[in-house]
A and B are shown apart, each in its own frame.
Chain A
Amino acid sequence: MGDKADVWQGTLALMILKTLETLGPLHGYGIARRIEQTSGDLLSLNYGTLYPALLKLEQEGSIESAWGVSDNNRKAKYYKLTSAGRRQLEREARDWRQAQAILAKFLSATEPST
C-alpha cells in the first residue's frame, strides 16, 4: 500500500460525516473501512488520526456516540450524526464542491484572461 494517497488535511471530517449520513450509526472500525472501500482502496487511513477526528466532531456536537453491539455480537462504540452534524455536512459539502468547481475552472483555463 506504499503508493496510496494520504487523507488530505481537513477532508477526513467531511468523509466521516458523509459516511454516517449514508450508512447511519456506525463504529470507528466500520467508518474506517467504509472510507477505504469508497476510495477504491486508494486511500490509506491512519487509524491513529481517525479517533482524535471523531473526538473533535463529538466535541463540536456534530456527532454523538454510544456503546452498542455489532452485527457479529461484539461490543463497539457507535457514532451517529446529529442534526447539527447534518447541517455541517451540507455546508461543508457545498463549500467543497464550490472549491472544486473553482479549481476545475482554474485548471482548464488555457488562455490568460484579459
Chain B
Amino acid sequence: MTDHMWELLHRLRSFFRREELDRDFDAEMASHLELATAENLERGLGPAEARRQAFLRFGGSQQAREEHREARSLPFLETLLQDIRHSLRMLGKSPGFTAIVVLTLALGIGANTAIFSMANALLLHPYRYHNLESLALLWESRGIDEGPDARSISPGDLADLRASSQWFDDISTYQCGDFNLSSEGRVDVAPGCRVSANFFSLLGVGPAEGRLFSVNEEQPGSDQSVILSHGFWQSRLASDLHAVGKTIRLNGRNYTVAGIMPPDFAYPVPMELWVPLALTPAEKSDRSQLSFAAIGRLKPGVTVAQTAAALNNLSRRLSELYPQTNAGRILNVLPLRKELYLYTLPLFALLQAAAVFVLLLACANLANLLFARMIARQRELAVRSALGANRTRLGRLLLSELSLLALLGGVVAITASFSSVRVLRNSISPDWTKWVPGWDGIRVDSAVLFFTILLSLFLGLVFGLLTALHLRHISLNTVLKETGRGSASPARARLRNGLVSAQVAFALILLVCASLTMQGFNRLANAYQGFQPDQVLKFEVALPETAYPDSVKRANFFEAALGGVASLPGVSGTALTSNLPASNVDNEKTLFTIEGRPALQPSEAPAADLQTISRDYFSVLKIPLMAGRFFTEADTATAARVAIVSRTMASRFWPGSDPVGQRLKLGAADSTEPWLRVVGVVGDARQNWWNPATFPVVYRPYLQSSRSSFRFVLRVASNPAGYASAARAAIAQVDPEIPVTELKTLETEVQDSIAIVHIMGILMAVFGIVALLLSSLGVYGILSENVAERTHEFGIRFALGANPRDVLRLVLRHAFLVSGVGLAIGLPISFAVSRAIAAFVFGIVSVSLPVLLSLAGLLVLVAFIAAYFPARRALRVDPMVALRYE
C-alpha cells in the first residue's frame, strides 16, 4: 500500500520534471553506448564497426525512451493533457462557434442556477423551524375549508384534544391581531399574537436576547410580558442593547420586554410582538366560538393520516356530548408545510417550467450547433482517420473538446449566477421582500454550485457521446472522395437546410412556451378585481384613547379630517374604511342572523366579513352598485341602522330575491345587536390576493359603528403620490398630535401585497429575454455558418459574371425560404403545445394569434440579420480568394 503511494508520488514528480528526466535518460543511453563501443574496441573491432555493433545491440533508442517514460510517469494523464491542448487549439481556431456554445450553455445553465438558488432558499429551506415535517395545524370547520385565515378552533375542544391525544407531543394555541402600541402620547398599530407558553419551544426557535414565556405567565394578571420581533427592536427601540426589562404600553397596559426574537422568525406571518395567552377558566372551556389557532407537533412515527382518523372520532364524540355547539363540527389536521406552500407552490411550478424551457432551448441550440459542426468537420476527421487515428481516439478527442466546452460554459454560468443573484436580491424593494419568507437566504450556495457543475458536465458528456456515436455512421472513404469544396453535394445542402428549419421551428415552439408562462404571471399579478387602485392615495390614522375616549369626539375628528382632505385641490373624493382590498389582512369575521330566519343552532349561524366605511368609499374605489343605494349623509349615528352587502353575500343568502329592505343583525339569533336594514348591494372586491375565495361582506356606515383607527383613501386627478404632504397637512390642521402612517398610493400597496408574484414576473421577463437571446443565437449561429460555407460558391458565381446584388438576393431568398419552412412546421406544433400547457399548468391560457405572429416575425428578422451580414462579408471577398476559400 505505502509502496504504491511512494511509486505514485515518484510518478507524479516525474510527470512534472519530464524534460529534465528525458535529458537524464538520453545521457544514460549515450554513456551506455560509449561503454559498449569501448568494449567492442577492446575486442579488436574497428571504430565504425564497434559503434555500429553497440547501437545494434541496444535496439531502437526512441522505443527505449518511450518505454522509460511510460515506466516513470502517468501516460493516461499525458494523453489527457494532449487531448485538452488539442481541444483548446481547435476551439481557439473557431472563436465564433466557441463563443456561441459557451454563451448558450451559460445562459441555459445560469438561468437554471438562478432558479435553483431561489427554489433552494424560498421553497426548500425558507422556514428554520425544528423538523418542519412533524408540525401540523389543527382547526375546526363546518365542512368547508374557508382558507388559511379561517383555521381556528374553540378552546374547549382544544382542551379535550390535548387530554385525549396520544398523537401529539405538544400542542400550542395562539391568536393574532392588531395591538395598540402607545408611546409618548401617540398610538401605533402593531401586529402581534397572544401565544401559549410552549409556542416558541414547540416551533423549536429560541430568542436572540432574553427569555421565552413560562407557564406561570399563562395566568390572567401575571401575563404582562412581551417578546419582540427583531424588526420591532430595530425600528421602534433603535436597536437598544438594554431593551430586555424595559416597559412598553400595549392596549393601555404595561408590558415588560422579556426577549427579542432572531431576525428570521416570522410565524405565522411577520409579526411585531408576542404576548402570553392568559385565559380565564371560563374562556378555556368555551366551545361556542372558533377563536384560536392551534399548531401541534406530531409524535415521531405518527402520520397525518392516522391523526386525521383519530380526530374524526373525537369530533363525532364531541358532537354527541355537546350537540348545542359541536353539531356538524369537524376537527381537521393539515401539515404546516402544505399550508406554508399553499400559494407559492404553483408559482414555483410555473417558474420551474420556464427554467426547463430555457434549458431545453439551450440544449436544442447546442445539439443543432454541434451537429452542424460535425458535418463541417467530416473532412478533417476523415483525414485524421486516414493518417492512422483510430475511432476510439477520435471519439475521445471529440469528447474532451465538448467536455471542455461544457465546463467553460459552466464556469461562465457560475460567475454569471453569482452576480445575477446579487443583482436580484438588491434590485427588489424591501417593502416587497419582507413578505417573502426565506428571501434573505437567497444565495448561490454549495448545493447550487454542485448542481450547476454536474449539469454542465452531464450536458458535455451527452453531446460528446452523441457526436462520437455519430462518427460511426460516417463512411470516411466517401467523405474523402468528396472533394469537400464549396457547394457540397445536394445531400449535404439538404441536411444543412433542414438544420436551419428545425432550429427555427424549435425556437418558435420554445419562445411560445416562454411567452405563455410570462403571460400567466401577468395574469396572476392582475388577479385583483372589483376595484380600481389607480390614482388613489391611502394612509392610516389611529386616535389615542386618552384624547378621543368616546364615539362623538372620534366622529368629529374623522368628519373634520375627511372635509379637510376633500377640500384639497384636485381631490375628487375621499373616504374612510376599516380595511382595504389588497391589504392582505382578512376582514374581521362575524356571525349574523337574518330576520325571520333564525339559525336553529349557534353553529349554524352564517358568517360574513365585516367592514366599516364612510359614505363615498365605493365611489372612490369605483366598486359598482348592483342594487339599492350607497350610504348617504343621512346615515348618521342617530338615524336608522343600515348596512350594504356584497354581491356574493346577496346571492348566497338571498338567492333569487332582493336583499334590499331585508334586515339582519350581527351575532347569533340570541344576540342583542340592533337590526340593520340592507339598503344596497355592491360588487365583490378581493381582500387578500393569497386567499382566492370570495367571502360575503357586510358594510356598515362608520358613524353607526365607532372605531378609533381608519384607513383614508382619496381619489385624485393625477399623480396621487404628490398629495402626500398636502394630506399630512390637512390631518395636522385638525389635530397636529395625530400621526399619519402607511402613506402610499393604493397601487403601490397592491403591488407590495403581491410582492412574490411581481418578483416572479420579473424573473419570467428575464427568462423571456434569455429565451429570445438563445433562439436568436441559435438561428444566427447556424444560418451564418451556412452562408460562410458558401463563400466558395459565391466565388464561382462572381467568376461567371453574377453581380453582388443578385447573389445577396439569392442568399436572402434562401434564408427566408428555409426559415419559412421552419415556421410552417413550428406554428401548428407550438399552437398544439400551448393548448396542452394551458390545460395542465395553473394560470396559463392558450397563446393568442398576435403573440404567435409577432414571435414568428421576430424569428424572420433574426434570420434576415443572420443571412445578410455574413453574406455581405462574403460578397466583399475577392473572387480569387473566395475560390480558394475552404
Please report A residues at the B interface, Cβ cutoff 8 Å.
27-30, 33, 46-49, 51-52, 55-56, 59-61, 67, 70, 72, 74-77
Contacts and interface: CB of A to CB of B under 8 A. Distances in A.
Given A59-B6, A72-B38, A52 B68 contact: yes
Contact of A49 (B7, B36, B60, B67): B67
Interface in B10-25: 10-11, 24-25
Nearest to B54: A29
A77 B32 CA distance: 9
A59 B67 contact: no
Given A28-B32, A77-B28, A55 B68 contact: yes
18 contacts: A29-B31, A29-B32, A30-B35, A47-B57, A48-B59, A48-B63, A49-B67, A51-B28, A52-B68, A52-B70, A52-B72, A55-B68, A59-B10, A70-B35, A75-B31, A76-B31, A76-B32, A77-B31
B64 interface: yes
A33 B54 CA distance: 12
B35 A27 contact: yes
Main secondary structure of the interface of B (DSSP, over half): helix
B34 interface: yes
Given A60-B7, A61-B6, A48 B35 contact: no
Contact of A56 (B28, B38, B64, B71): B71
Contacts of A29: 31-32, 35-36
B26 to A, nearest CB: 11
A2 B51 CA distance: 22
Given A52-B71, A74-B35, A59 B28 contact: no
A47 B58 contact: yes
A46 B59 contact: yes
Given A27-B31, A74-B34, A77-B31, A55 B71 contact: yes
Interface in B40-59: 57-59
Nearest to A30: B35
B60 A48 contact: yes
B3 interface: yes
Nearest to B13: A59
Nearest to A1: B57
Interface residues of B, number: 28
Given A29-B32, A59-B11, A74-B38, 14 more contacts: A28-B28, A48-B59, A48-B63, A51-B28, A52-B67, A52-B68, A59-B6, A59-B10, A60-B6, A60-B7, A74-B31, A76-B35, A77-B24, A77-B27
Nearest to A59: B10
Nearest to A75: B31
Contacts of B29: 51
Nearest to B36: A29
Contacts of B39: 33
Contacts of A70: 35
A77 B60 CA distance: 20
Contacts of A49: 67
A75 to B, nearest CB: 6
A33 to B, nearest CB: 8
Contacts of A51: 25, 28-29, 64, 67-68
A70 B38 CA distance: 12
Interface core residue of B28, B36, B60, B72 (most chain A CB under 10 Å): B28
A27 B25 CA distance: 13
A74 B628 CA distance: 123
Nearest to A76: B31
A76 B68 CA distance: 17
A103 B39 CA distance: 39
A55 B72 contact: yes
Contacts of B7: 59-60
Contacts of A77: 24, 27-28, 31
B244 to A, nearest CB: 68
B298 to A, nearest CB: 62
Nearest to B8: A59
Q: Which 8 A-B pairs have the closest CB atoms?
A: A52-B71, A29-B35, A59-B10, A48-B64, A76-B31, A29-B32, A77-B28, A59-B7
A20 B588 CA distance: 101
Contacts of B67: 48-49, 51-52
Interface core residue of B31, B34, B36 (most chain A CB under 10 Å): B31
Nearest to A70: B35
A86 to B, nearest CB: 16
Nearest to B9: A59
A47 B820 CA distance: 71
Interface in B538-578: none
A59 B72 contact: yes
Contact of B32 (A47, A59, A67): A47
Nearest to A28: B32
Nearest to B71: A52
A47 B64 contact: yes
Nearest to B30: A75
B50 to A, nearest CB: 14
Interface string B56-96: 01111001100110111000000000000000000000000
A46 B59 CA distance: 8
A51 B22 CA distance: 13
Nearest to B70: A52
Contacts of B24: 77
Nearest to A45: B57
A98 to B, nearest CB: 22
A52 B67 CA distance: 7
Contacts of A52: 67-68, 70-72
A46 B35 CA distance: 16
B11 to A, nearest CB: 7
Contacts of A61: 6
A59 B68 CA distance: 12
A51 B39 CA distance: 20
Nearest to A52: B71
A28 B68 CA distance: 14
A76 to B, nearest CB: 5
Contacts of A67: 27
Nearest to B11: A59
Contacts of B28: 28, 51, 76-77
Contacts of B34: 74
A27 B27 CA distance: 12
A28 B63 CA distance: 17
Nearest to A53: B71
Nearest to B35: A29
Contacts of B59: 46-48
A29 B33 CA distance: 8
A17 to B, nearest CB: 16
A84 to B, nearest CB: 10
Nearest to B7: A59
A54 to B, nearest CB: 9
B573 to A, nearest CB: 93
Interface core residue of A27, A46, A47, A72 (most chain B CB under 10 Å): A47
Contacts of B72: 52, 55, 59
A32 B67 CA distance: 17
Contacts of B70: 52
A6 to B, nearest CB: 14
Nearest to A47: B58
Contacts of A46: 59
A29 B54 CA distance: 11
Contacts of B60: 48
Contacts of B38: 72, 74
A79 to B, nearest CB: 10
A55 B13 CA distance: 14
A75 B6 CA distance: 29
B53 to A, nearest CB: 12
A29 B38 CA distance: 11
A58 B68 CA distance: 13
Contacts of B35: 27, 29-30, 70, 74, 76
A67 B23 CA distance: 13
A29 B31 CA distance: 8
Contacts of A60: 3, 6-7
A67 B58 CA distance: 21
B542 to A, nearest CB: 85
